[in-house]
Structure 1
C-alpha cells in the first residue's frame, strides 16, 4: 500500500453517469459519496466514451467522425510518417520517465475536451479546501487490455495482437494514469485510480484463446506501477466474471468486482482472497446492482445490507471476522450507471450510500 488510506466500508462510485451536465453530475457524486468523490464520465459525449477518452497522444490510434453514427476508433500503423510519430512517442515516454514533473504538459495529459468532469472535479476540490475533507479522491482510466481489444484495424484485427500497437498502448495508458494521479494529488488528498477492464470478462473464452494470463497480468502491473510511482493507489474494476487469480496475485491495491452477480465465483478462491487481504489490499464490493433494471427496482438498502451479510459470512475465518473484512472494503455499485435512466442511476447512488452507512453503523 502506498497511501495512508483506510477504506472502512466507505462508499465510492465507478465513474459513468447518464447525464449531460458535469456540474449536475458532481452534485450527485458529492451527495452520495462525499468521503471518496470521483470525477464523472458522461458517455453521452463521444469523446468521453471508454476508448476515445484516453486515446489522444497515442499515435497508433486513429479516430474517424466520432460524433457521427458511422464514427469509429481504430489502429493504423500504415501511414508514411508513423515511424517518426513512434520515435517521438518513445522520446516523450523516456523524458517523463526520467523527470515525472514533465508529465503535466506532456502528450500523456488528458485534455479538458475529453475529461471536462476531471477538471471541474479538481476545481471543486480546490474551492472546498476549507470544508469537510474527503478521505481520498478517485479517478479512472481505460485499462490496456480493454483498449487493445476494443481498437481494431480496418480488417477487424484487434490491436492486442500487434506487438507495436500493444507496447505503445500499454505505455501510453500507464503514463496517462500517472499523469492523472499527479493531477488529482494537487488536492492534497490520497489518490485512487481505477483501471477499468470490462474486457477481462472475456478471458478464457474462444475469442481470446491465444491470450496468456501472464501477459495480461504484466500489462496490468505496468499501469499499477505507474500509479504507484506517482504516489497513488491502483485499483482495477471488472464488471463480470474473469480469471480472478490474475488480479489477486497482481500488484493492484484494490479489486473492484460485481459481488451482486458474481460473488460465488470470487468466493470459490477463498484462500487467494485471504492471501490478497493479508498483504493489506482492499476489496471494492460491488453489491449494488446496475446491470438489470428489475434488480435495481426490487432491491433496497436493507435487502442489500442483508445480502452483504449473507455473502461476507462465507469469507469469515477465525483470524478475520465481519468487522475485519469491512475495514478492508469499499462499498460500490457493481458497475457504472451511464447506461441507466436517471431515476435508476440516482437510486443506485442512494443505495450505495445507505448500504455503506448501514454496515458501518452495525460493524465498525
Structure 2
C-alpha cells in the first residue's frame, strides 16, 4: 500500500491555514509545515537551536553560531533538564515554528491516525553551526554529544504535543540530513563509521525515550535530498525508513541494491521522493509518475528485491517545498492525492 506525506517545508506566499488544510486533505500522513521564507528563525538548523547551550541566533545578520564561554555557563542547566526529561524546556516556540501550533489546531479538529514530525539531524546541525573561529561544532566530541541529546529532546517535545491531541495517533519521525550528501567530500572530515554511529545513537535514544516517557513505539526515517553513499543508512541501527530523491537520484540509489535488499528484508520501508518539487511538476501526471515508479521497482526486483517490499512504501516530493510557490505546492499535493492507496 502506498501512503503519502511531505518533507516539511512549504511556501510562504499564501495563508498557512490554506497550506495546512491541503496537507490534511491530500496526504495520508499529514506533517506540520515549516516556513523558512517567513523568518530566519525557521531555517532548518535555527528552528531547532532554541535553548541549545551557548547558541547565538543573530536574526538581523542571519547568522547562527556557538559562543564557547556561554556554552560552558549554560551546560549544567541544559543537562539538568535533559536528565530530568523536562520535555517542555526543549519546546519549539511559535517564532521558530509558526506552522506547528497551527497544525496542532487542525489536528484537534480532524480525526487522523498518523502524523509525521521532523527534526534536523545531528550531522547537518553540527556541520552548519560553528564556533566564533569558524570550526563546525560536530568535530568537538562534547558538542556532538549535546547535539544528539538536544535534537532528541526537540523530537520528544513534538511527540508530547501530538499525544496531547490524541494519544493513539501513530507517529513517524524524519530526521533531515542534507549534509549526508557532503559525506566523502573534501569539505567534511567525517568517517563512515562516525556517521553510522552518530545516527544510530540518535535513533536508539529517540526510540528508547519514547518507550520510557510515552510507553509507545514510533517509526523513524532519515531523509537525504541529494546523492550520498546509501549503504550508510542501511547500516544505521533501528532505522525504519530511507527517504530519498528518487526523481533525480535513483540511478545512484540502485547501485546499492544489495544493501537495500538487506534493509527491506528487515521489515523496513522506502520513502520515494518521486514528485518534483519545482516547476517540473507541471510536466508530470499521475500516469507518468506511476510509470516511473514501476520502472524503478522493476529494476530493483531484477536485483532480487521483493516487489511487495517496494510497493509497501511512502511517496513524497523530492525534497521540501519552501523555495517554491503555492501553485507548485498545490500541484504536488494533487499528485500526492492521486497516489494515496494506489497499490
TM-score of the superposed pair, with normalisation by structure 2: 0.91
- Determine the C-alpha separation between the residues in 1 that align with 2:63 and 2:7: 25
* Cα-to-partner distance string for 1:222-269 (whole Å, 9 max, x where unaligned): 221233231321111100111211111112111100011111211111
For 1:146, what is the secondary structure of its paired residue?
helix
Counterparts of residues 26-175 of structure 1 (less than 5 Å): 26-33=20-27, 35-44=28-37, 45-64=39-58, 66=59, 68=60, 70-79=61-70, 82-96=71-85, 102-103=86-87, 105=88, 107-129=89-111, 133-134=112-113, 136-175=114-153
Q: Is 1:331 aligned with 2:315? A: yes
Instruction: Please state how far the C-alpha of 1:149 moved relative to its aligned partner.
Output: 1.0
Contact 1:146–1:197 under 8 Å retained in 2: yes
Counterparts of residues 207-226 of structure 1 (less than 5 Å): 207-208=187-188, 210-226=189-205
Instruction: Please state how far the C-alpha of 1:12 moved relative to its aligned partner.
Output: 0.9
Stretches of 4+ moved more than 4 A in 1?
A: 317-321
Instruction: Please state how far the C-alpha of 1:318 moved relative to its aligned partner.
Output: 9.4
Residue of structure 2 equivalent to 1:4: none
- Determine the C-alpha separation between the residues in 1 that align with 2:309 and 2:136: 43
Structure 1: state its 5+ residue gaps.
1-7, 97-101
Q: Is 1:176 aligned with 2:154? A: yes
Contact 1:239–1:257 under 8 Å retained in 2: yes
* Cα-to-partner distance string for 1:167-205 (whole Å, 9 max, x where unaligned): 211210112112222322332210011001111110011
Residue of structure 2 equivalent to 1:243: 229
Contact 1:227–1:233 under 8 Å retained in 2: no
* Cα-to-partner distance string for 1:138-178 (whole Å, 9 max, x where unaligned): 01001111111111223322111223322211210112112
For 2:221, what is the secondary structure of its paired residue?
strand
Residue of structure 2 equivalent to 1:99: none
* Cα-to-partner distance string for 1:269-327 (whole Å, 9 max, x where unaligned): 1111111111111100111122x53x323222211110111111011159754344212
- Determine the C-alpha separation between the residues in 2 that align with 1:201 and 1:220: 15
TM-score of the superposed pair, with normalisation by structure 1: 0.86
- Determine the C-alpha separation between the residues in 1 that align with 2:63 and 2:82: 27
Residue of structure 1 equivalent to 2:213: none
Q: 1:255 to 1:194 in 2, by over 3 A?
A: same
For 1:283, what is the secondary structure of its paired residue?
strand
Instruction: Please state how far the C-alpha of 1:341 moved relative to its aligned partner.
Output: 2.1
Q: 1:207 to 1:235 in 2, by over 3 A?
A: same
- Determine the C-alpha separation between the residues in 1 that align with 2:205 and 2:105: 24
Residue of structure 1 equivalent to 2:258: 271
- Determine the C-alpha separation between the residues in 2 that align with 1:310 and 1:9: 16
Q: 1:144 to 1:324 in 2, by over 3 A?
A: closer
Residue of structure 2 equivalent to 1:353: 337
For 2:320, what is the secondary structure of its paired residue?
coil
Contact 1:181–1:232 under 8 Å retained in 2: no
Contact 1:178–1:226 under 8 Å retained in 2: no
- Determine the C-alpha separation between the residues in 2 that align with 1:318 and 1:46: 45
For 1:206, what is the secondary structure of its paired residue?
coil
Instruction: Please state how far the C-alpha of 1:73 moved relative to its aligned partner.
Output: 0.6
Report the number of matched residues.
331
Q: Give the RMSD, CA atoms, in angstroms.
A: 1.9
Contact 1:248–1:273 under 8 Å retained in 2: yes
For 1:353, what is the secondary structure of its paired residue?
helix
